Amino acid sequence: MNPTHLCLGLATLLLGGTAAADLTLNGRSTVMSMNVPSTSQERVYLKKDWLRRDQLDRGKAYTYIYDLNGHDISALDHSLRQLRVYEMNALANTPEAKVSHKNLKLDLEATGQKHMLGAWNCAEHSLEASMPAELGPEKVNLRLEGKVWLARNTREQKDLQPFFKAMDTPDFLIGIPGLQKSSPAHTRALGEVLQRLFSQGMVCAIDVELKYEGGGRMAELARRMGSRLNLVYESITTDPLPDEFFKVPPGYQQVRH
């Protein structure tokens, strides 16, 4: 699977409720999958019961519109002018992603390093996380190791508390099932980690490596195909966003998935 399509936005992780402020995050992501790097531009918009994520990946533009009230995701391919609609919790309900969030172990430790992102004071933390997973027929342990930068006690975090509170549920998982079928374990682990992080602060950046631990052939193969995610937000704005910005534009053909 190409982790580019994980919930990188994963500052895109939220569900339900109404926020008091609009928020736009601009950044970029670099993904190493099967030892091949891929870089894309990222932009995330939050307003009321909606979230929109725009991605420019290798010259192609995609948009994901999350209707948090209707519990569905509209995935738009702008080059083909095609639309696919997914149930928001579809991936969480698949047998492949049945591991409970209670099985996740997460350790954060502040390093003392900081940087500014607009008015946010982003503190660097070392991150270690692990959770049981299934890799084909094998029982394995999936580990995430790296660093994350968190801005605590921001006004935006207070405004978005209804979103983050609603995320804390065993069945919640943001994702595009059609793009993630080949690696639900990666999707689940990243989703669970981001849920925990958002309870502590706004995510300014994340740089993690994903590893499998196990004695089987599948785990050994996965260890040779390194996966790494680097997501950096470079600017934030709180300008008002029109409701129409979160609607599917006319002229897109809905296709089955």
Residue 255 domain flag: no
Determine the Cα–Cα distance for residues 108 and 148; give it in Å rounded to an integer: 9
Residue 76 domain flag: yes
Determine the Cα–Cα distance for residues 9 and 44; give it in Å rounded to an integer: 7
> Sorting pLDDT into bands at 50, 70 and 90, what band is 115?
very high
Place of tokens 């052939």: 217
Residue 96 domain flag: yes
| pLDDT tens per residue, range 150-161 | 999 888 877 776
How confident is the model at residue 253, as a pLDDT?
A: 94
How many Cα atoms sit within 13 Å of 68 on the Cβ side?
23
Determine the Cα–Cα distance for residues 61 and 38; give it in Å rounded to an integer: 14
Cα Rg, the chain, nearest whole Å: 17
Place of tokens 């900081």: 114
> Sorting pLDDT into bands at 50, 70 and 90, what band is 257?
low
Residue 253 domain flag: no
Residue 257 domain flag: no
Its domain, for residue 108, covers 3-247
| pLDDT tens per residue, range 85-96 | 987 666 555 554
How confident is the model at residue 15, as a pLDDT?
A: 31
Lowest mean pLDDT among 117-121, 166-170, 200-204: 166-170
Mean pLDDT across 28-38: 77
Residue 88 domain flag: yes
| Overall domain count for the chain | 1
Residue 254 domain flag: no
With a cut of 80, say whether residue 118 has pLDDT above it.
Answer: yes
Residue 256 domain flag: no
Reported residue count of the chain is 257
Among left, alpha and beta (phi > 0; psi -120 to 50; other), residue 58 is left
